Structure 1
Amino acid sequence: MDAIDEHIVSLLRSNGRASFSAIGREVGLSTNAAAVRVRRLESSGVITGYQAILGTDAPDGVAGLEAFIDVRLEPGRDSEEFLVWASGTRDVLDAVHVTGPYDYLLRVRVRGTAALDGFLRLLKREAGAAQTQTRLALRPSAAGASARERF
């Protein structure tokens, strides 16, 4: 790895989506030469992947994943105890009792997939969830926008 490769790695650390053209301009190479260098860095294992850092427009500034979790409680589990547990858990933004095959719908915000996995395990271990189904929010809702503006 030479100084140009180190410069390319530095550029990609700060902007993993930088185009080959932009990288080439920055390090003094053609677009094709920059692409060859990046691909060589990838194939040699210097660059092992690219990562998306997810953010949110949450009022508390916590970045991460927002998810909706359908929860079916274990038979005989007290519904009010579950709500007390949910209201005391910092990751839970909202908990509503719903109709249908599940008992509750939770809206949660966690720091990432590992935290979501931990939260789901906690739901089953401590809160009495027999079954869960999780959906991830792909973008925040447009608060106050009409349905037409959102869709």
Structure 2
Amino acid sequence: MTSCLWSAALEEETPTRLRPPAVSGAALSATVRVRLATSGHCAGFEEWLSGQLDVVEVFQCTGHFDYELRVASRDPQRLNTAIAAIRHAGGAVETETTLLSTRLDS
């Protein structure tokens, strides 16, 4: 099992926001859990993520996966392209994707 260092944002139990969602009003979203080959790839993976416009939230995790990402898009093809890019990103050896269907507001 790999585990990256905790960031200050995680210690505050808030997500690390990469940018305001570029896909405001996106109809499709998914979570993608990512396990890296080794924890030494964290900085490179995080740098790569900063250039991915459809990745709107990033969490570091404990357990089997190192990261959980929220990906949002307006169309299925763009969402599929974004998820495929994450799967093949440097250092990613395993991913698990869940499409999100309905947001429940409290």
Aligned pair count reads 86
Specify the alignment match of 2:81 in structure 1: 118
Q: Taking structure 1 as reference, are residues 85 and 59 closer, same or farther at Cα in structure 2, changes over 3 Å only?
A: closer
Q: 1:65 to 1:76 in 2, by over 3 A?
A: same
Give the partner amino acid of 1:122: A
In the TM superposition, residue 60 of structure 1 has moved relative to its aligned partner by 5.2
Aligned partners of 1:139, 1:59: CA distance in 2, in Å?
20
Please state how far the C-alpha of 1:108 moved relative to its aligned partner: 0.8
Q: What do residues 74-122 of structure 1 show as CA deviations (whole Å, max 9, x unaligned)?
A: 2365102211221221101111110111010001102333323322221
Q: Which residue number corresponds to residue 131 of structure 1?
A: 94
Q: Which has a greater percent of strand?
A: 2
2:34 alignment partner, one of 36, 58, 71: 71
TM score, norm. by length of structure 2: 0.66
Q: Which has the larger radius of gyration?
A: 1
Residues 1:86 and 1:141: Cα distance change in structure 2 (over 3 Å): farther
Normalised by the length of structure 1, the TM-score is 0.48
Structure 2: 5+ residue runs without aligned partners?
1-20
In angstroms, what is the RMSD of aligned CA positions?
A: 2.4
Tell me, in whole angstroms, the C-alpha distance in 1 between the residues paired with 2:99 and 2:42.
24
Instruction: Describe the SS at the equivalent of 1:139.
Output: coil
**Which residue in 1 is equivalent to 2:44?**
81
Identical aligned pairs, as a percentage?
30
C-alpha displacement of 1:140: 2.5
